[in-house]
Amino acid sequence: MLNLSTSSALFDRAKTLIPGGVNSPVRAFRSVGGSPVFMQHAQGAWLTDVDGNRYVDFINSWGPMILGHAPQIVLEAVSQALPQSLSFGAPTRREVEMAELIREMVPSIEKVRLVNSGTEACMSAIRAARGYTGRAKIIKFEGCYHGHGDAFLIAAGSGALTAGEPDSAGVTQGVAQDTLTAPYNDVPAVEALIAANPGQIAALILEPVVGNMGLVAPADGFLRALRALCTEYGIVLIFDEVMTGFRLTSGGAQQLYGIRPDLTTLGKIIGGGLPVGAYGGREDIMNCVAPAGKVYQAGTLSGNPIATAAGMAQLRYLHEHPELYMALEATSARLADGTRQIAAELGLNYTVNRVGSMFSLFFTAEPVTNLEDAKKCDTAAFGRYFHAMLNRGIYLAPSQFEALFVSTAITDDLVDHYLRACRESLAEAHSAK
């Protein structure tokens, strides 16, 4: 068993100071039991906690550490930017260069606005869509998480699921009435919502590949059907690529599936892990945003010089080395296929979903294509598996409803290490039932 005494003591202190002892709910370990692990250091594929335990990381700060932790190219960019000041509250050259780079890598983005987080990007994109269309309502999908904006905490996924309360207190009935929800991968449900709300829907927002009910892929033709419906009814199609942008391919999920959204939201990966986000898309929609238009949105730290320096270093490296995505594909396939095979050999008909360098092991024998499927998982068994893996030095998301993220720092030896731990942990979790 791990020695987590320092983590436990820190958590006890934190609970007297911070709600629930954490600054992001899914970190609380409530769904898997026990106390969260407090981290101190990370390098490459490895995390080291405050008690000196080491783990192979399959969260990677929920996605952005695609090159592993503390890659030299990003550290050098940050060190060069630091002496020039941490914030100006004024325009900088890097903001322009970042916008040019994003537009080059994501062809659907004609104009882009930098913000401070994925949540802020999604909130702003919805506001821009409402301002552009003059309509109030939006469609989102059950289990898709777009940050903690009020409009998105209706049938949310991720941390809301893990906390056992998918709808948040503090969200007004008026906001809820303007948010329409449909099951993911269900085109007829979307058609019914559009028919029931003629001329009222400003935007349809979704994760094109879902990472917040576990990894769920779009069914064949699903994204294309949504694109056609949005075009027909003048609805702004928004792809939330906070997780998938620059991770699945250099152009994100929209490049992978060949679908051009009207707006795209981006997050942590464009800051190399530092707090940053962006939203962008069609020029006519983005020109509605202040000061060009009447849709107000602002932020003192938007496009801050340290985050843009780190983000450009990482994005340029990904752009210049497309072979990295082929390597990630091969590594991730070994991990996911190996997990699936081990479960089958142990007589556990569990489901493994994967797209690119994101994957999930669902503790259910049924296919997982939407939120209701995901909710059928044996979360108690997942909790036992999580702790068994943690004890073997594998750091997974502490929730059945989160995808895992693979970095280029995961070597063949570390894949073998993961698969050995997986076999032992699945057997342990099953025998303890």
Residues with catalytic function: 145, 240, 268
Backbone dihedral angles phi then psi of residue 266, each to the nearest 5 degrees: -130, 160
Q: How far apart are CA 404 and CA 342, in angstroms?
A: 18
Strand order in the sheet with 358-362: 351-355, 358-362, 404-405
CA torsion sign for 102, 103, 107, 109 is positive
* Residue partners of 82: CB distance under 8 A and separation at least 6: 306
Burial 181-203 (b: 16+ CB within 10 A, else e): bbbbbbbebbeebbeebeebbbb
Q: What are the helix (H) ranges across 82-221?
A: 93-105, 118-133, 159-162, 173-177, 187-196
- Here the tokens at position 375 are 């909710």
Asked whether 407 and 57 are in contact (CB, 8 A), the reply is yes
DSSP 3-state of 69: strand
Segment 73-80 long-range contacts (CB within 8 Å, at least 24 positions apart):
73/313, 73/314, 73/317, 74/272, 74/273, 74/310, 74/313, 74/314, 76/313, 77/272, 77/309, 77/310, 77/312, 77/313, 78/272, 78/306, 78/309, 78/310, 80/309
- Here the tokens at position 60 are 């990677």
Q: How far apart are CA 13 and CA 171, in angstroms?
A: 30
Helix 222-233 and helix 187-196: axis angle, to 10°?
A: 20
- Here the tokens at position 96 are 């322009």
- Here the tokens at position 118 are 């994925």
Q: Among 215, 212, 238, 243, which Cα is nearest to 227's? A: 238
Q: How far apart are CA 231 and CA 179, in angstroms?
A: 20
Asked whether 313 and 306 are in contact (CB, 8 A), the reply is no
